[in-house]
Homo-oligomer: A and B are copies of this chain.
């Protein structure tokens, strides 16, 4: 059994530092790097790429909505053409730093509200998939399983990588529990680790509204902007490896 551990990174912007890339990178196997729209200024992207290189972390592009002040967390009514162009632009911008460092572009994962919109809006999902395909048809796209986003990524012929969230509660329906629900957020690193192990070894986890829910996971997301993100990443990784799971980039 193998699984990837991913975290968002490279979100610092000029003098504004965000997240704890250096403390998280020893424990994750892939990183989604901001590309300048919701975070990630050129110099800080470069810094994050070099840090990822030093830690052997595989680097993906993390395109977001053009909303720096909202950190890409606010849904925007972009046309599919605008989504396509914004995603393509951001992939290229990040790619340049990887190319300069002799690293491959490992994957694409949309950020924040763009990711969430793709899960429910087919046109947005298709636009993202087509932008990835236009840049490189062999580039893997990280998706939430069971969504129109997964469907459109597959229709585009992309390699799809299924993502699960050990720090987030799931509903029986398979959906992530809304953050407004009590218990929707798992803050204890050991509990997150226990869930991560179940997801990978058993392909399921307890649902917040009772019973169990099937969870397909090729990559597990660690939320890099939590203050205890480095500890969560470490405890999850150690628990997986203690169970014989190989943690490595997909």
Contact = CB atoms under 8 A, between A and B. Distances in A.
Interface of A: 13-18, 36, 39, 41-43, 45-46, 66-71, 73-78, 81-82, 84-86, 88-97, 99-100, 113, 131, 134-136
Contacts of A71: 14-16
A87 to B, nearest CB: 8
A71 B66 CA distance: 12
Interface centre among A66, A69, A71, A81 (most CB of B within 10 A): A69
Contacts of A94: 92
How many protomers of this protein does the assembly include?
Answer: 4
A73 B100 CA distance: 27
A68 B134 contact: no
Contacts of A99: 92, 134-136
A42 B93 contact: no
Contacts of A66: 67, 69-70
